[in-house]
Amino acid sequence: MQQHWLVIWYGVSSFIFGLLLFFPTRKLILAMSVNRIQRRTQREITAEELEKLKKKVTIISAIISLTFAFFYNRVLMFKYFGGIG
């Protein structure tokens, strides 16, 4: 029974941690992408270009933040609880 709750705790805490990391990660990647495009094209980006870029950045930041959260939480679980499953 102890292992079952540990697996649930691992999943829930990893997802919440990933969700907390998602918003600043998205903002950082969006700012870097907008600056890169503006520097490359030597003009301001349009609203429709910004919307397309936001969709791409949202997917990329979700993948990065959730992957990092699950791996980081896995390391902590092994360190303090001897692993799960």
Indicate whether 1 pLDDT > 80. Answer: no
Would 71 be classed as within a structural domain?
Answer: yes
Residue-level pLDDT at 27: 98
Q: Which two tokens stand for residue 5?
A: 């709750």
Would 42 be classed as within a structural domain?
Answer: yes
Domain span holding position 50: 2-80
pLDDT tens digits along 13-69: 999 999 999 999 999 999 999 999 999 999 999 999 999 999 999 999 999 999 999
Q: Are 49 and 37 in contact (CB under 8 A)?
A: yes
Residue-level pLDDT at 83: 61
Q: Please count the structural domains in the chain.
A: 1
Would 60 be classed as within a structural domain?
Answer: yes
Would 40 be classed as within a structural domain?
Answer: yes
Would 20 be classed as within a structural domain?
Answer: yes
Would 32 be classed as within a structural domain?
Answer: yes
What is the model's pTM? Answer: 0.83
User: What's phi and psi for 45, nearest 5 deg?
Assistant: -85, 150
Would 85 be classed as within a structural domain?
Answer: no
Would 45 be classed as within a structural domain?
Answer: yes
